[in-house]
Structure 1
């Protein structure tokens, strides 16, 4: 396994950001490699969370079911993503499900393995607490911010978040309109009307039901407008 590549894939929000190559070698040595096929459920909402995954190859959809049975897409994971860490750390149930959208490989790390790693790497334990605190602050700010926006600007903000996850910078969102509606909390009909309007304005193009952002500056302006 290429530890340098795995380290480079960790974004600033990863609980493993800042680990040295030697640390990564130690961490990988405590994990089990898992191969999966497209469509495989990697983690299931509501199950006991005694392990976590570090995606090394492939992609996956992260979603949760509302109390009314509606799927809410939270994110699309690419190589480097850390999945299932919340339940692993607090001992509770999984808060979301993860389904592979392509074949791939992940490192599976158990709770005892992570505890032992943290015990032997005190700097990591402190960094982990800081990272979780930053996540909580960001989540609170995002919730409050989104509440203040009408549906159009809110959809634009979700599109911005999705294309920021696009490591190949294609600006193409691999979501159907139904999935995009679930992600943004809007009906498919509402999504369709808004996307058609933006297509006519040259902000996006619709390619086989998928969205490609053509004018990121305009999308930015829409996301910050009052609707």
Structure 2
């Protein structure tokens, strides 16, 4: 059953999308399993690139430390998403750190192992081009948001992205289904804790969001969308 569940996750992963079950089984047998407890690092920024991973269960946080020493949260990863995609691009070191927000189970392939799979399965090589292109577009979008948008729009965009990536519908709204502090949100939106807290408090009074201890719920996503797209 474990192998079948792994194959189901791999089938939906962007790097292995469109492959036959037989091809997925070949890819699965060439990988290795890894477990990561909450708080542990999968790899650190500037570590040498050794492997690429697919998250099977749990949640990972991707961060980057700037030249000034500030930590920025780039994104959160859920089941079926890739960590360490620099292995596809030929880079020598990981550009950011990846740590477990929850206990995680992963499948990994060494750098040479993923190259061997590309040579055996052309679809994996084609998908890797799409993966790298999408990451580039995401990076450009984040840079544009940080450099041109007002902080309210950045926070709204961040909450809406997290709602799509990890949202869980409840009677009260869309709950972001993993621990998320106001400091985490501030880092993702490129602002200070004070500013993020002030904006969230205002939105709570307006009924747009509900936040508690490391929990945030989006109660009116349509209203947040209007804020995110306002000039």
Question: After TM superposition, is the score higher than 0.5?
Answer: yes
CA distance 1:134–1:85, change in 2 (3 Å): closer
The one of 6, 15, 23 equivalent to 2:9 is: 6
What is the alpha-carbon distance in structure 2 between the residues aligned to residue 224 and residue 18 of structure 1?
Answer: 34
Gaps of 5+ in 1: none
Alignment of 1:98-137 (within 5 A): 98-137=98-137
CA distance 1:108–1:130, change in 2 (3 Å): closer
Gaps of 5+ in 2: none
Contact 1:3 1:25 (C-alpha < 8 Å) held by counterparts: no
Alignment of 1:48-127 (within 5 A): 48-87=48-87, 89-127=89-127
The one of 187, 191, 197 equivalent to 1:186 is: 191
What is the alpha-carbon distance in structure 2 between the residues aligned to residue 167 and residue 194 of structure 1?
Answer: 21
CA distance 1:23–1:164, change in 2 (3 Å): same
What value does the CA root-mean-square deviation take over the aligned residues?
Answer: 1.9
The SS at the match of 1:52 is: strand
CA distance 1:169–1:49, change in 2 (3 Å): farther
1:217 Cα deviation after fit: 0.4
The one of 211, 219, 225 equivalent to 1:220 is: 225
**Runs ≥4 residues deviating over 4 A:** none
Contact 1:51 1:88 (C-alpha < 8 Å) held by counterparts: no
Aligned length: 223
1:43 Cα deviation after fit: 1.2
Contact 1:163 1:169 (C-alpha < 8 Å) held by counterparts: no
What TM-score do the two structures reach when normalised by structure 2?
0.88
The SS at the match of 1:128 is: helix
